[in-house]
């Protein structure tokens, strides 16, 4: 049997990233102000930096989320695993605040949803934002990002990832960018 190759890929330029920021800024500004931003590592670092600068958000925090992979052979079981928060802001930094959660892609939606739920449990009003929303991979039928720059069905390679290219993508299918 021939190994599966990754799905369609889109390689973005910095100009295309600028256009995504231009699409997101009016949406974000129309929703009011944000007291802080949480950038989800690693994918949300560059998008979050660009958006925090454009929106003048100075309280920038990070969250690192891991979904254990020991169940890789059983896809359904792996998707049900609870996340592990390797890094997360203290609840005191979130309570009673409007928080913008930024990642690069909403694939399965697990990471953004986990961070949003943890912010809500800390008493925050969280909003999720991604450059790309892939509704075809999302595990959530009733949830989607609050803000997104584009809808896609492709595997996105951003300009800051070009040096890595598709290195690390298993031949058996797509990586799980969450």
Handedness of CA 144, 148, 154, 158 (dihedral sign): negative
From residue 52, give the alpha-carbon distance in Å to each of 83, 157, 163, 166, 167.
26, 22, 25, 28, 29
DSSP element (H, E) containing 118: helix 110-121
pLDDT tens string 133-171: 999 988 888 899 999 999 999 999 999 997 754 554 443
CA 76 from centroid of its chain's CA atoms = 21
SS (H, E, C) 15-60: HHHHHHHHHHHHHHHHCCCCCEEEEECCCCHHHHHHHHHHHCCCCE
pTM, two decimals, is 0.84
Reduced to 3 states (helix: H, G, I; strand: E, B; else coil), residue 163 is coil
Looking at domain 11-161, its CATH class is alpha beta
- pLDDT-above-90 percentage for the chain: 70
**Domain range summary for the chain, segments of one domain joined by +:** 11-161
Q: How far apart are CA 64 and CA 152, in angstroms?
A: 24
Render each residue's pLDDT in the chain as its tens digit; 178 residues: 444 555 789 999 999 999 999 999 999 999 999 999 999 999 999 999 999 999 999 999 999 999 876 555 555 555 567 788 999 999 999 999 999 999 999 998 999 999 999 999 999 999 999 999 999 988 888 899 999 999 999 999 999 997 754 554 443 444 445 5
Q: Pull the structure tokens for residue 104.
A: 């690069």
């Amino acid at each position: 049997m021939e190994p599966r190759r990754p799905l369609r890929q889109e390689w973005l330029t910095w100009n295309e990233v600028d256009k995504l920021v231009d699409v997101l800024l009016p949406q974000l500004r129309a929703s009011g102000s944000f007291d802080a931003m949480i950038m989800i590592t690693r994918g949300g670092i560059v998008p979050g930096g660009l958006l925090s600068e454009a929106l003048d958000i100075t309280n920038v925090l990070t969250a690192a989320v891991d979904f254990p992979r020991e169940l890789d052979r059983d896809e359904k079981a792996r998707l049900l695993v609870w996340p592990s928060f390797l890094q997360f802001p203290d609840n005191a930094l979130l309570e009673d605040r409007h928080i913008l959660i930024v990642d690069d892609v909403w694939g399965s939606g697990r990471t953004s949803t986990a961070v949003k739920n943890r912010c809500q449990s800390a008493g925050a009003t969280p909003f999720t934002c991604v450059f790309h929303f892939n509704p075809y991979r999302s595990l959530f039928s009733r949830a989607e990002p609050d803000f997104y720059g584009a809808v896609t069905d492709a595997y996105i390679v951003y300009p800051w990832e070009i040096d890595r290219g598709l290195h690390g993508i298993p031949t058996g299918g797509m990586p799980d960018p969450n």
